Amino acid sequence: MQGDLESLKKDFKKFLGNKGRKITKRRLEIIDMIAKYGERFEIEDLVQWINSQNKNVASRSTIYKTVQLLREFGAIREVMKLNDRTIYELALEKQHHESKCMEGELENLKRDFERFLKNKGGKITKGRFEIIDMIANYRAHFEIEDLVRWISSQNKNVASRSTIYRTVRLLQEFGAIREVIKLNNRTIYEFVVGKQHHEHLICVECGKIIEFNKEEIEQLQEKVCEEYDFTPINHRLEIFGICSDCREKRRENRVG
C-alpha cells in the first residue's frame, strides 16, 4: 500500500505538471487522508471525516477539487450511484496495475511501430522512441504545440519541433494517437495505448475533457446493433456541455 501510494503521488505530480498545476503539500496530505479513510465514500462524508481528523488540512473546496483531479487522473473511480448518492473509491491497485500494463503495451507499440515504419520505407530512430516515451508520460489530452513545449521543457535534446510533429502524425496514422475533438480552432489529441475504451465529456467554455466509461452505455450500444442487425467496428461518444468549474464562475459573475 505504502509503495503504491508513493508511486501515485509521484505520477500525480507529473499529471498536474502536464496540466500546468503544482502539487501542494495540502494535496499530498489529502491523498494520505483518503488512503487512510480506507473505505468507499461520498465526497461530503470524506470532507467531514478529514476535518474531524485535522481541520487544518484543507478547505472543503480544495478537497472537492483534489478528488476531482484524482478522478481525472484515474486514482479515484465512481463505484455506484444509489438513491441520489454517488459512491467513490481510491483505486490504488488498479492504478498500479494499469501502470504495469502500460509498460508492456508501450514495448509492444514500439516494436509494431518500427515494423509499420519499415513498411513505409522509414526507420525508427532513438529520437522517435524517446518521443513515444515522452508522449506516454504526458498522461493528458494535448494539442501538438503544447506537447512540443512540454517535451522541450523536459529534455531539449530529444528532438526538433518538426520531428515531434512528424512523429505525432505517424503515430496517428498508426493508430496510437487519435484526434479527440476540434474545438475553438484547437485540435485535441490523446495517446490511446494502455487505455481502456472510454467516452468524453467536453466543456465548450474552457475546453476541459473528462474521460468516463459506463458499462450501461456499452451494453445499450450492443443492444442497438443487435436490434438493427448491424456489425459495429468502432464508436465514439462526446458529450458537449459546461463543466462544474465554468458553471461556478458563471454564478460568481452573476453575483458580482
What's the 3-state SS for 97-110?
HHHHHHHHHHHHHH
Contact 168, 147 (CB under 8 A): yes
Supply the pLDDT for residue 177: 93
pLDDT digits (tens, 9 = 90+) for 209-226: 888 888 888 889 899 999
Region of 77 (left: φ > 0; alpha: ψ -120 to 50; beta: rest) is beta
**82-120: pLDDT as tens digits:** 667 788 888 765 554 455 556 678 888 898 999 999 998
**Residue 114 CA from chain centroid, whole number:** 26
Domains of the chain: 2-90 (1.10.10.10), 98-191 (1.10.10.10), 199-255 (3.30.1490.190)
From the number of C-beta atoms within 10 Å of its C-beta (0-12, 13-18, 19+), residue 155 rates as exposed
What is the torsional sign of CA 78, 12, 132, 179? Answer: positive
Model confidence at 6: pLDDT above 80:
yes
pLDDT digits (tens, 9 = 90+) for 58-81: 888 899 999 988 888 878 877 666
pTM of the full predicted structure? 0.55
